[in-house]
A and B are shown apart, each in its own frame.
Chain A
Amino acid sequence: MAEPIVEARNLVRVFGGGRTWYGAKKPELRAVDDVSLSVQPGTTLGIVGESGCGKSTLARMLTGLIPPTSGTIRLEGRPIARLEGAEKRRFHQTVQLVFQDPLSSLNPRKTVSQILAGPLEALTDLDRTARRERVRALMDEVGLRPEFIDRYPHEFSGGQAQRIGIARALAVEPRLMVLDEPVSALDVSVQAQVLKLFRDLQERRRLTYLFISHDLAVVEALSSEVMVMLEGKVVEAGPRDRVFRAPRHDYTRTLLGAVPVPGRRRAA
């Protein structure tokens, strides 16, 4: 087996806790509780779970937005902790995140070209012309028409806005993309377009995905490995077909049984 692109050991993230000035205990929430994972390059790890299971907290730790309370994350073999300077730059060049809400993840006061050039300015040494060139190539790659380049986010539909978010994440050519519910806010016909784009990009660039969703059918369509989370813990993990066809944990079975399928009536 090749070296995993990302490997996490015993990750824990606690929110709250501590004591007030008067010494009373503050409530504590273990959002992520002892999670370990490892992802091979070019594959997709799907993470499923219901709201509050800690999947988004996990995404934020893996992309360096929040530090873990304890545990280690290794990216391409290098531990990440207290990123500074060049180390931080290299980290952001390797991992990028695509957000759930396409409109809230785009600055309403910036044009598409400013949004896409941002990471290129801060993380690469490209000059202005090269950046402009790269922005055009990115827009083409995610299927945005070139005349959109100077438009503002509110002029786009949800699906188009999500393409801008994907292009921004792709800008620095990361090897790992963390996708946090990237299609949940989209209509089904647009969702299919975006899922197709993810599949194409993966094939073309040998990207590694960490795909987080509450929608089991979507996770099944995109993942090679699957991890099921409940209340901050991993209850089941394994190859996709094994987990979906022969679930071992009761919670996985409950989840799978709850999904409504078009054209199929539940035995009631």
Chain B
Amino acid sequence: MAATTEQRAEPLPPRGSTAWGRLKRNSLAVVGLAIVVVIVALALAAPILPLADPNITEPADRLMPPFSEGAWLGTDQLGRDMLSRLVWGARVSIAVGVAATLVAALIGSTIGLIAAYFGRITDNVLMRGVDMLMAFPYLLLALAIVAALGPGLINALLAIAVVNIPFFARSVRGATLGLVNREFIEAARLSGFSDTRIILSELLPNVLPVIVITMSTTVGWMILETAGLSFLGLGAQPPQADLGSMLGDGRGLVMTAPHVSVVPGVLILILVIGINLLGDGLRDVLDPRLKSGALSRPVARTEVAPGPPSGSGDKGALLEVTGLETEFRVGRRVLKAVNGVDFTLQPGESLGIVGESGSGKSVTAMSILGLVPTPPGIISKGAIRFQGTDLLRLPLRDLQDIRGNRISYIFQDPLTTLNPLLRVGDQVEETLIRHQGLSSRAAMAQAVELLNAVGLPDPRTKARAFPHELSGGQRQRVVIAMALANRPDLIIADEPTTALDVTTQARVLDLLNDLRRQTGAALIFITHDLGVVSELCERVLVMYAGRVVESGPVDAVFNQPRHPYTAALLACVPVLGEPDRSLAAIPGLPPAVDDLPRGCAFADRCPLVLPDCRAREILLARSGEGRRSRCIRWQEVGHG
């Protein structure tokens, strides 16, 4: 219920790569696909291929070796043509395997969907039934079912399907559970949909990928199981051939005529390998977790494009950012998240960076410590000088000595910042031990002191608590304690109170402000909330589409904005105590950061736009005492 603005990641997911395109890039999956296509095509074409009748016995020609005249793969102990039996047998095996998969998928998915959707007692009864199926060794269970029903292909098919129901039921139930609490299911209920309709039209399309993945990874397995039952004489009955029964027929002749068992054995091997390669490839393409790039591991710091080291500028400044450009390279698209940002920060100063989602404010801050994930992020231009050293060209080791020590970072969500498995006290100690080389005893004492300083009640006990045992406000206090542990010169806080309630936010802001004044640290505070900036910061940068559009002292900028975007942003915030003022919404949307216009990025939404605004790049120019604006008509802003 707390505000969740800004949780959207700023880089967009890759687009334009179809499922087929991604499958094509996986060469093993393509090999699997080729194998499956060839074998299935041969099996389907069996009736029209010029093959001998697979069941005609020819005692005179029994056990002919492969490559004999008239029998390419030889004949078996009854003189039947092996090639023909192989093709017809593959046809039967594939048909039974696929049919068993479909039956198992249908029944298993139905059980999974119903169990997850209705929950409670229905879930318990169905899933305990599935558990009972899983409690038996699967082959034993299949044997028992066939034994009860009598041998035969159809019975073998049913037995294998039943044995595989649990795999489908469990994975579909798992996927559905993640969906039933989503709001679109509640919306469907409010739209008057029946339970059946919700399951079929809302849930099923969303779990279909899971069903397809499970099918593609189990069908090979099921063909093997069919072959296993037939091998034991419980599946295909003579004279009909399937790959398993052919294997069984050849069992006694392994020494004298190995080809009778080797030929079907090799085909089973190739077929199952082909299906599994294809299945794995399909899973990689369809699984949303793999698609989102969760498996690509970012490196320890953002990649920096090579460039000339920059000359030093303002000697007294604590932090000086010049011409910073950070982009995300996703496929063929280049998203310019930060597009030429300059600012300086004096020691002890507090600077607010405001902007809407996608304006580049977080990426700017993360670039300072090289925290933008690579891939896909890369700092393509610019320099960041902290106390005179260029952070972008510093060796990783030295940068790590600055991170969490001279510059510390506070993230939006304290729950994801803190390690859930470690006690909060230990997490504060960790940063003291790393940077100050304290003994663990001294670090513990200091951690408790820090937790006390951030106003955590009973800090000695709270230090032994795990993050989930604290409230949201208390967790953020712990994060602040960690940020202050090494008396940093600069604290970067990225939406640190957005996930908190207003009353908690007010206390956390007071705390941050007091501690900052006591320690003399400078502060960069990133937020979408203009009110919070007013309370905490001396100077403000307003960002739009990756650029600073206006900067200056907070009070001056907010009381007399000199960029049309700042003015519009202020006009559309509802202000407590002024309920009747009309909310002037900004028409339209910000431009896409992979397709920025040449001129002013705000031109399309601006009431003051001139042809000149679109013709050339607008520079950030002086617009008063300590103020700069990226607008050629800044003098007219706010005068109608």
Residues of A within 8 A of B529 (CB): 260
Given A191-B572, A192-B585, A255-B503, does the pair A101, B183 have CB atoms closer than 8 Å? Answer: yes
Q: Which residues of A contact B572 (CB under 8 A)?
A: 188-189, 191-192
Write the A43-69 contact mask toward B (1 if CB under 8 angstroms, else 0).
000000011100110001001110000
Residues of B within 8 A of A217 (CB): 573-576
- Interface range on chain A: under 10, 10 to 19, 20 to 34, or 35 or more? 35 or more
B: interface residue count bin: 35 or more
Q: List the A side residues contacting B287 at CB < 8 Å.
A: none
Please indicate the chain B residues that have their CB under 8 angstroms from the CB of A266 in the complex: 535
How far is A92 from B532 in the complex, measured between Cα atoms in Å? 40
B575 touching A257, Cβ below 8 Å? no
| Cβ contact within 8 Å between B532 and A260 | yes
B585 touches A263 (CB 8 A): no
**B201-235 Cβ-contact flags toward A at 8 Å (1 or 0):** 01001100000000000000000000000000000
Contact A221 B583 (CB under 8 A): yes
Nearest-Cβ distance from residue B9 to partner chain A, whole angstroms: 13
Cβ-defined contact, B192 with A89, below 8 A: yes
Shortest distance from the beta carbon of B546 to any chain A beta carbon, whole Å: 15
Q: B589 to chain A: which residues have CB within 8 Å?
A: 157, 159, 190
Nearest CB of chain B from residue A194's CB, rounded to whole Å = 8
B575 proximity list for chain A (CB < 8 A): 217, 261-262
Most buried by A among B197, B529, B535, B576: B576
Distance between B119 CB and nearest chain A CB, rounded to angstroms = 13
Q: Which of B184, B205, B530: most chain A CB closer than 10 A?
A: B184
Are B534 and A158 in contact, with the CB atoms below 8 A?
A: no
- For B586, the chain A residues whose CB sits under 8 A away are 189, 192-193
Q: Contact: A265 with B186, CB < 8 Å?
A: no
Residue A73 is within 8 A (CB to CB) of chain B in the complex: no
- A242 and B247 CA atoms in complex are apart in Å by 88
> In whole angstroms, what is the CA distance A257 to B577 when docked?
11
Q: Which of B61-69, B104-112, B387-395, B505-513 contacts A (4 or more CB under 8 A)?
A: B505-513
B502 at the interface (CB under 8 A from A): yes
What is the CB-to-nearest-CB distance from A133 to chain B, in angstroms, rounded to a whole number? 18
Name the B residues within 8 Å of A190 (CB-CB).
356, 585, 589
B190 CB-CB contact with A under 8 Å: yes
Which of B4, B190, B356, B506 is within 8 Å of A65, CB to CB? B190
A262 & B184 in contact (Cβ 8 Å cutoff): no
Contact between chains at B506 and A258 (CB < 8 Å): yes
A60 to B585, CA, bound (A): 30
Query: How close is B507's CB to chain A, nearest CB, in angstroms?
Result: 8
Does chain A have a CB within 8 A of B14? no
Does residue B188 face the partner (Cβ distance < 8 Å to A)?
yes
The contact string, 1 if C-beta is below 8 Å from chain A, for chain B 32-58, is 000000000000000000000000000
Restricting to A164-210, which residues have a CB under 8 Å from any CB of B?
Answer: 165, 168-169, 181, 184-193, 195-196
B574 and A218: CB pair below 8 A? Answer: yes
Chain A residues whose CB sits within 8 angstroms of the CB of B202 once the complex forms = 107
Partner of A50, one of B357, B503, B510, B532: B503
Q: Determine whether B559 belongs to the interface, using a CB cutoff of 8 Å to chain A.
A: yes
Q: Which residues on B sit within 8 Å (CB–CB) of A221? A: 574, 579, 583
Q: Is B555 an interface residue (CB 8 A)?
A: yes
CA distance A91 to B559 in the complex (A): 49
Residues of B within 8 A of A265 (CB): 534-535, 555
A 245-264 binary contact with B (CB < 8 Å = 1; else 0): 00000000011111111111
Asked whether any CB of chain A lies closer than 8 Å to the CB of B124, the reply is no
Chain A residues whose C-beta falls within 8 Å of the C-beta of B530 in the assembled complex:
188, 262-263
* A185 cross-chain contacts in B, Cβ below 8 A: 3-5
Of the residues A96, A169, A214, A240, contact of B2 by C-beta under 8 Å = A214
Nearest B residue to A102, CB-CB: B183
Interchain CB contact under 8 A, B535 and A158: no
Asked if B401 CB lies within 8 Å of chain A CBs, one says: no
Q: From known contacts A96-B190, A104-B183, infer whether A261 and B534 are also in contact, taking CB-CB under 8 Å.
A: yes
Among B206, B356, B502, the residue within 8 A (CB) of A188 is B356
CB of B607, distance to nearest CB on chain A (Å):
14
Interface membership of chain B positions 1-25, coded 1 if the CB is closer than 8 angstroms to chain A and 0 otherwise: 1111100100000000000000000
Interchain CB contact under 8 A, A187 and B356: yes
A51 touches B1 (CB 8 A): yes
| Docked complex: A83-120 residues within 8 A CB-CB of B | 88-89, 92, 96-97, 99-101, 104-110, 118-119
Could you tell me if A50 and B568 are in contact, using CB atoms closer than 8 angstroms? Answer: no
Q: Is the CB of A187 within 8 A of B184?
A: no
- Contact between A263 and B206 (Cβ–Cβ < 8 Å)? no
Can you name the residue of chain A whose Cβ is closest to the Cβ of B187?
A: A105
Q: Does A141 contact B (CB under 8 A)?
A: no
B513 cross-chain contacts in A, Cβ below 8 A: 268
For A220, what are the chain B residues with a Cβ–Cβ distance below 8 Å? 574, 576-577, 579
**Is residue B558 within 8 Å, beta carbon to beta carbon, of the partner chain?**
yes
Contact with A along B524-537 (1 / 0, CB 8 A): 00001111111100
Q: Which of A89, A100, A196, A240 contacts B585 (CB 8 A)?
A: A196
A222 vs chain B, min Cβ distance (A): 8
Task: Assess whether A106 is in contact with B576, with CB atoms less than 8 Å apart.
Answer: no
Please give, as numbers and ranges, the residues of chain A lying within 8 Å of B453 by CB-CB distance.
Answer: none
Chain B residue, CB-CB nearest to A114: B201
Known: A106-B184, A261-B531. A188 touches B569 (CB 8 A): yes
B28: interface (CB < 8 Å) = no
Please indicate the chain B residues that have their CB under 8 angstroms from the CB of A181 in the complex.
Answer: 1
**Does residue B199 face the partner (Cβ distance < 8 Å to A)?**
no
The answer to whether A188 and B531 touch across the interface, beta carbons within 8 angstroms, is no
Docked pose: A100 CA to B2 CA in angstroms: 10
Q: For the complex, is B610 an interface residue (Cβ under 8 Å from A)?
A: no
B182 at the interface (CB under 8 A from A): yes
Question: Is the CB–CB distance between B583 and A214 below 8 Å?
Answer: no
Asked if A52 and B192 make an inter-chain contact with CB atoms under 8 angstroms apart, the answer reads no
- Contacting pair B356 A259 (CB below 8 A): no
| B584 on the A face (CB < 8 A) | yes
Task: Name the residue on A nearest B181 (C-beta).
Answer: A104
Q: How far is the CB of B515 from chain A (nearest CB, A)?
A: 13
Nearest Cβ on chain B to A220's Cβ, whole angstroms = 4
Tell yes or no: B193 within 8 A of A by CB. yes
Cα distance A181–B182 when bound, in Å? 16
If A107-B205, A220-B574, A268-B510 are given as contacts, then 13 extra A-B residue pairs at C-beta distance below 8 Å, sorted by A number, are A184-B5, A188-B530, A188-B573, A191-B572, A193-B587, A214-B502, A218-B574, A220-B579, A221-B579, A254-B503, A260-B506, A263-B559, A263-B570
The 9 closest A-B pairs by CB, nearest first: A260-B531, A192-B572, A119-B191, A105-B183, A258-B506, A122-B192, A50-B501, A262-B530, A192-B585
Q: What is A's interface to B at a CB cutoff of 8 Å?
A: 50-52, 55-56, 60, 63-65, 88-89, 92, 96-97, 99-101, 104-110, 118-119, 122-123, 157-159, 165, 168-169, 181, 184-193, 195-196, 214-218, 220-221, 240-241, 244, 254-266, 268
Q: What are 24 inter-chain pairs, A to B, with CB distance below 8 A?
A: A51-B472, A97-B186, A101-B183, A104-B182, A107-B205, A109-B206, A110-B205, A122-B191, A165-B187, A169-B190, A189-B572, A189-B585, A190-B585, A192-B572, A193-B585, A195-B585, A196-B585, A217-B573, A244-B579, A261-B534, A262-B533, A262-B534, A264-B534, A265-B535
